[in-house]
Structure 1
């Protein structure tokens, strides 16, 4: 890991982009059911757990070397013995299916908005989004890093504009009453999902040449970006919405004025676009690592199946999101912590120091099990 291609901020934006597309926009609806004080406590807990878990993944990637992706990390530290190859192959297949499902969610969600904005058939909107999103990934890590930086900057500018207008159009008091246990679990699960960038961390590590201090900073900043966005969007949507909708931007923009609906639609498409870039780049690198194909073939394998899934009618946006979130949570909870325990015994720089001890490892594993539960409970 010596070929530095990205700045710290570009790496941070790749991490931010992974989680911003779906979970962030669902947070206000869940926060309205949990009350702002309890929501803030849960959000802070999810933020802390996410930073630590992603630093664990970063350390695993650095010590695995050679720009290792997460499957190679698990193959080295978890899949041991005579069944190593079979387990690695099986895990690759499962992860590819999970990520295909995740990508299909963003194609479906963005196509619905584009279809409404431009008056085109939804099938055509899917193709337009796919071509624009996938073409950036074809050019590799630096192209995605620069594109993420521009898109995240635009997203912050749009949110700032909507936030100022929200404070001038306050319609509701902030909800304070705590909700049920199931509602709290659902909020925690979605918060963890909004912060998650499991497969983008190796890209950040590779892009920064394996520099531990810079990678730790990029991980923290990337997840902090989403924390700030969740906080601002949640407070403003609760204050200014006529009705807090499941996809926050819909009710929020209607509460401000008709012009804000267009701004909200652009925000939502950008959020889904950044996530598509991060996930498909990670998947293309995983395919290259496992199958040793050329760049174009890996790119096609990483992007085309998700487009096909949307045309086959395999579920809507929310179904995709909940399925992908639950599957990823279970896999991460089961594999990252055991891998990190072995990795921690090896010589080399520790990104977490005393924060990576056994007690913290247990807490992190429990947090991701709770995330999985939160993605399947009835709200």
Structure 2
């Protein structure tokens, strides 16, 4: 099967789902770092019911509206594009079961945007961030009970540190975990709910490889916390991560993968108990920017090369990944940052406004749905 963006016809039923999502999301206001510090010791958070958010496993249908074709400077001609004219992006999440709407973080503005193709874009949350270097609004996760509480957890950079915060539906921002080391580079990390009361956090090395290997530092680590506690204690799962750390969780079996670029090389790893198992390395060290799992594959984005590398997933019979197939993004989306899974497909977010060798187009930065080629071992 050739790798190509999905074609363009969205059913009315899917559109109705998307509208419902837009209607129920509340607009959040801006909160300051001073407000965060004042609420740092306000006590425990409310209990979160035991429900784990699952990324939909079904492949999305075609991402476009049934109505008239929209026009304007922020309308992208590619029918797979579902968000346009964004500031430089970071984490993203599907906003409906088919993935034809998206929540996407603008790293430099601190906004989380809700968007669908031809639909209005809304900032559902905003938090003050320090966006110097590669910091800012790095990643976010919807609460496991999002439909009930509209809570968002985020990994952000402030003038003094990187931290996990909780953003309420009112817009108030409350620190969950502060003091994660900050640097001029190496701030990009990732978060993912891996249990109803377990948030897995992957942090960059803050430009200090030594700190990444120091178990007393939270730089360059994968650790878990209970985000509902007032002073959660991180449990370290792995050390030695580099920069631009991206987690990708396999919803089918719960396995957690991570892509990073650092002193140990550019690598794709499987997170095992208290360690990392390297599955693939890139000798040319191109700089990895995102990853996502598919039904039978793992896709890694490489913004500097305007490329996606697609691997066959490891299994009990074959504990290694297959030789990757490559997807050239240079003529469609350019530099791709973060990815998020949609079963066989995924959403991708471009970083053309900040990637060093990218050439932004008028509708950048964008989010699009993409169906990759099968891994090399699966081609017929």
Q: Into which bin does the TM-score normalised by the smaller protein fall?
A: under 0.3
| TM-score of the two chains, using structure 2 as the length reference | 0.24
Larger RCO: Structure 1 or Structure 2 (Cα < 8 Å, ≥ 6 residues apart)? 1
> Going by fraction, where is strand more abundant, 1 or 2?
2
> Going by fraction, where is helix more abundant, 1 or 2?
1
| TM-score of the two chains, using structure 1 as the length reference | 0.24
